[in-house]
Amino acid sequence: MIRSDARLKARGALEFGVDLDAPGALHGVLIRSPVAHGRLRRVDLDRVRSAPGVVCAIGHAELAELLPSGRGATAHPAFPAAELRYRGEPIAAVAARSLAEARWAAARAHLEIEPLPIFAQIEDVFPDWPGAGEGESEHVNAHVLARQGDVEGAFARADRVVRGKYRTAGIVQMPLEPHACLARVDGETWHVQSSTQSPFGAREDTSAILGIPEEQVVVEASWVGGGFGGKGAGLLEPYALLLAAAARRPVKLQLSYAEEFELSRSTLPSIIWVESALAGDRILGRRVRLLLDTGASLPGRDFATGYAIGFIAGPYRIGAVELEGYAVKTNKPPFGPHRAPFAPQCVFAGESHTDEIARAAGWDPLEFRERTGWREGDETPLGQKVGPFGLQEALERARAIRERWKKELPAGTGLGLAVGFWSTGTSAGGEVLLRLTPSELVVETVEAEIGSGSVIRGLVAVAEEVTGLPREAIRIGRTDTARGPYDAGVYGSRTLGALGNAVGDAGTKLLQELARRIPGRGELRLEVIGGSCVAVRNGSRVTVASLLTDSERATGGVLARGRHYGRGGEILAERVLTGGFYAYTDFTAAVHLAAVSVDRETGQVRVLRYAAIADAGRVVDPPTYRAQVEGGVAMGLGEALTEETLWNASAELQNPGLLDYRVPTILEVPPIEVEVVEGFLGAGPGGAKGGGEPPVIPVPGAVANAVADATGARVRELPLTPERVARALKLL
């Protein structure tokens, strides 16, 4: 069996967040803002409270009495006091005996709201790229500017300049399981079970929003029905806890799909300009300009602009580079992380541009990338040295696949190549506890298995490697934030790397401890004989049961704590003129090839074949790694072809549902060829690099380049809907 959770999941026998229940639990519903921008004049919940089945209704006015004295006035309270910043922002909440009663009651709230001007789109703030001084605006969350070399000079010396303006759409993570949690307040302890990717992250957010010390908030993860970055923050937990405090009973809170679309904090639209100065086949200089819609994000919460913008410069040798971006504040819901946050969009622009350069000059797009692509030791625009990087070898593999496809596919098929890179790594750290009992090894962690397999397979595989025990004798023991060791969360392609290293550390310590108890010099390993764990050293076998101390027998086994807090990279401070930029850690390449056919009458794109070559460092568990690449590609195909949030001039989401926001179906994802390049080692166990995010990154770029190859028409806007393709083909 490939996955130990497969049998239970196939039978529907695991408890996800939506399945949580407790005796006497009430059902909560959020009362949310009907407008995208306004000033709250009055919140009257009397008619909510008098509705049948209602136990409590709370808004900003009730925070002070519910929270420990003086704690209600946090910087960003659960319910706003006055200004409403986006449609759907929670204003109040109600708990009732049934969900139907809570919904009915929520609709009876009386809200008086003074409308304020709505900034729905980037263009409402900046109609075009802001000129000097025009970027100083209250509608800017962040401004970043970095420069390497003489950019002006590069453009002055150029033989040719290639320019492009690209647009990308808002997308949502849309895990099949919506956010859900179950909260209760026991005396001083605020306890919440939640479908979360990061129990400690949810605890930190909840503590900050409610003003309750972190130690008094206990978060326990349930099984998580997909996350993709959307379940990493304390989104629902504070509201559920407040309702539980007010009702003095457990409260279940779950988002509907429509709420999921509005509240889950994902990627918003962007406008990207790229221009390159060329001399022969060298890129003398590049200017990148980015306007990123960050919605109603709070100032100081911009993590994307100064990070993602580097991906537009690409993993290429460029003489001089200027990167400038604005995080634009609009009245859309706040921006948030979504599997390789904003990187597929940046790489779509960057790789479309790379192809445009190559095609304009008549060069083979693959050879051009081979000539200009980074090799280990090259320098990034921010002055960082590129570490072990499998780009060149992945391009070589892509060449072989492309030659084979050219023979096999009919004429007229478009072939597109795109290169993505990502910074995986282990700098967001964590800890685990290993517990060796006479019959099994338990990996104790707060983290839930969110689907990727990084916990249930990744951590177990590392424990197998370090101890010698078979996987059947190793189990994940999930615990809560009160009892469990700290970990940053299951996100950012860091789980196997950071937490896996912590398992390795703990396993090594565990074996050292056992070695102290068995005389001899040779290496100690563990194995299972007849259902019992046995330590093997110098050919002699001793049962673990016989090695336990009296106190270990009482507490359940030998304990070993492992930790890993990796180092981040460094950038040259003098390259940064304004704002925050971030260093990369493990340089991780992804090279993709797409084969498409384009309907010349409708503009419909069909992906016929897809190949993904991954720079894995070292693959710890091949089936799980392959599954991550396959799933990433499919998610990227949605971003490339169909997924797009549509907003009207009042910043209202027009398509909050899966009938109008189309994710790929089984017939729209072709079989995916996965190849792996190993040996360019990262910081994870045995040199593993993170695998969850890289495979989504090159997909929109590869598809756009394939469409251009098939038709000669360049679509510079995501997603590549039939309408946009038809316009590029001049059919409309």
Partner 1 sequence: MTPSLHLLVNGVRREGAVPPTERLLDTLRWRLNLRGTKEGCRSGACGACTVLIDGRPRLSCLTLSHQVGEAPILTVEGLESDPVGRAVLETFVAEAALQCGYCTPGFVVALTGLLKEHPGATETTLLEGLQGNLCRCTGYSSIRRAVTRLSEPKR
Residues in touch with partner 1 (CB under 8 A): 1-3, 5-16, 18-19, 21, 174-178, 223-228, 256-257, 450-453, 623, 627, 630-635, 657-659, 663-667, 669, 671-672
Q: CB of 491: closest distance to partner 1 in angstroms?
A: 14
Nearest CB to partner 1, comparing residues 15 and 403: 15
Q: CB of 628: closest distance to partner 1 in angstroms?
A: 9
Q: CB of 3: closest distance to partner 1 in angstroms?
A: 5
Q: CB of 631: closest distance to partner 1 in angstroms?
A: 4
**Closest to 211 measured CA to CA, from 57, 62, 75:** 75
Nearest CB to partner 1, comparing residues 18 and 271: 18
Nearest CB to partner 1, comparing residues 365 and 489: 489
Cα dihedral 496→499→504→509 (10° resolution): -170
The answer to whether 234 and 209 have CB atoms below 8 angstroms apart is: yes
The answer to whether 315 and 698 have CB atoms below 8 angstroms apart is: no
For residues 385 and 569, give the distance between their C-alpha atoms in angstroms, rounded to a whole number: 9
What are the residues whose beta carbons fall under 8 Å from the beta carbon of 600, sequence distance 6 or more? 711, 729, 731
Cα–Cα distances (Å) from 665 to 153, 414, 471, 634, 638, in that order, read 49, 22, 34, 9, 9
Q: CB of 626: closest distance to partner 1 in angstroms?
A: 8
Nearest CB to partner 1, comparing residues 314 and 638: 638
Q: CB of 456: closest distance to partner 1 in angstroms?
A: 10
The answer to whether 17 and 180 have CB atoms below 8 angstroms apart is: yes
Pairing assessment for the beta strands 474-478 and 524-529 based on DSSP bridges: unpaired
Nearest CB to partner 1, comparing residues 560 and 637: 637
**Closest to 240 measured CA to CA, from 45, 36, 20, 38:** 20
Q: CB of 630: closest distance to partner 1 in angstroms?
A: 4
The three state secondary structure string of 4-42 is CCHHHHHCCCCCEHHHCCCCCCEEEEEEECCCCCEEEEE
Segments of 72-159 assigned E as strands: 83-84, 90-96, 110-115, 140-148
Peptide bond into 719 cis (omega under 30): yes
Q: How far apart are the first and last CA of the chain?
A: 52
The answer to whether 649 and 120 have CB atoms below 8 angstroms apart is: yes
Nearest CB to partner 1, comparing residues 38 and 230: 230
Nearest CB to partner 1, comparing residues 132 and 659: 659
Tokens representing residue 709 in the block: 């190859």
Q: CB of 632: closest distance to partner 1 in angstroms?
A: 7
Q: CB of 692: closest distance to partner 1 in angstroms?
A: 11
Q: CB of 227: closest distance to partner 1 in angstroms?
A: 8
Q: CB of 15: closest distance to partner 1 in angstroms?
A: 8
Tokens representing residue 728 in the block: 């590029």
Cα–Cα distances (Å) from 711 to 411, 550, 714, in that order, read 12, 75, 8
The residue to which tokens 């279940």 are assigned: 252
> Which residues sit opposite 282 in a β-bridge?
279
Nearest CB to partner 1, comparing residues 58 and 627: 627
Q: CB of 445: closest distance to partner 1 in angstroms?
A: 17
What are the residues whose beta carbons fall under 8 Å from the beta carbon of 57, sequence distance 6 or more? 31, 45, 48, 49, 92, 93, 94, 95, 105, 109
- The DSSP call for residue 653 is B
Number of other residues whose CB lies within 10 A of the CB of residue 187 = 6
Q: CB of 596: closest distance to partner 1 in angstroms?
A: 17
Nearest CB to partner 1, comparing residues 353 and 609: 609
Nearest CB to partner 1, comparing residues 207 and 628: 628
**Closest to 715 measured CA to CA, from 643, 640, 610:** 640
Q: CB of 643: closest distance to partner 1 in angstroms?
A: 11
**Closest to 700 measured CA to CA, from 302, 276, 166, 129:** 166
For residues 479 and 496, give the distance between their C-alpha atoms in angstroms, rounded to a whole number: 18
Number of other residues whose CB lies within 10 A of the CB of residue 536 = 17
Nearest CB to partner 1, comparing residues 19 and 378: 19
Q: CB of 254: closest distance to partner 1 in angstroms?
A: 8
Q: CB of 642: closest distance to partner 1 in angstroms?
A: 12
Nearest CB to partner 1, comparing residues 38 and 232: 232
Q: CB of 1: closest distance to partner 1 in angstroms?
A: 6
Where are the alpha helices (H) located in 33-186, listed in sequence order?
46-49, 60-66, 99-106, 122-125, 151-157
Q: H-helix or E-strand containing 167?
A: strand 160-168
Nearest CB to partner 1, comparing residues 11 and 521: 11
Pairing assessment for the beta strands 576-578 and 140-148 based on DSSP bridges: antiparallel
Tokens representing residue 159 in the block: 């033989």
Tokens representing residue 299 in the block: 């100032």
For residues 202 and 235, give the distance between their C-alpha atoms in angstroms, rounded to a whole number: 8
Nearest CB to partner 1, comparing residues 14 and 73: 14
For residues 615 and 589, give the distance between their C-alpha atoms in angstroms, rounded to a whole number: 5
Nearest CB to partner 1, comparing residues 1 and 554: 1
What does 287-320 look like in DSSP terms, one character per residue?
EEEEEEE-TTPPTT---SHHHHHHHHH-SB--SE
Nearest CB to partner 1, comparing residues 241 and 634: 634
